[in-house]
Amino acid sequence: MATWNIDPTHSEIQFKVKHLVISTVTGNFKSFNGVLETEDDSFENASVTFEADIDSITTNNEDRDAHLKSDDFFNAKKFPKLNFESTSFKKTGGDTYELTGNLTIRDITKEVTLNAEHGGTVSDPYGQTKAGFEINGSINRKEFGLKWSAVTEAGSVVVADEVKLHLNVQVVESEPVEA
């Protein structure tokens, strides 16, 4: 069994959502961690767990960030983390996988399926083995209780329901512990 830990200094956890239908707001989580466990050198059937600190959300706008942390959206005080736990990690092509699991935001857990692409595995100059993945998908924010909504006087939706997820993740293989 091999254990791979997310390297936060070489990883990005981003989301994108349409604003007023005409532009996209990008945000990310600055504080997160995750573990990928594999039975062998292949990542197929890996087990993935991930969590992000809601209070670390940033969209480069303090007022918007505060609104996202409020009960209108994530309610960071009551639900300080979002969590993901995989149920399957299936190879769909040469370097592509389908990652399915349970995503919990607030107190709502839903199954989500994301596309993962393995960018490669290398040894760094310090002798550590690292692997990179690009993970993409989308969720409907309202299914997770992020229900705040507004409409402009002209009838445009202020925030779209679909949230696109984009994760660039580098994982580092931990040294096996002798039994």
Is 115 a domain residue? yes
Sequence-ordered alpha helix ranges (H) in 30-171: 62-69
Position 19 scores a pLDDT of 61
Are the C-beta atoms of 91 and 97 separated by less than 8 Å?
A: yes
Above pLDDT 90, what percent of the chain? Answer: 45
Which two structure tokens, joined as six digits, stand for 166? 């984009």
178 belongs to a structural domain: no
- DSSP class of 10: G
DSSP classification of residue 16: E
pLDDT for 20 equals 54
Structure tokens at 151: 């409409």
pLDDT of residue 141: 78
> What is the CATH number for 88?
2.40.128.110
pLDDT value, residue 21: 53
In a domain, 179, yes or no: no
Is 83 a domain residue?
A: yes
Q: Which residue positions in the chain have pLDDT lower than 50?
A: 150-157
Structural domain count, the chain: 1
Q: Where are the beta strands (DSSP E) in the chain?
A: 2-6, 12-19, 23-29, 32-38, 47-53, 57-58, 81-91, 96-105, 108-123, 129-140, 159-173
Residue 121 is assigned to a structural domain of this protein: yes
Domain around 105: 2-173
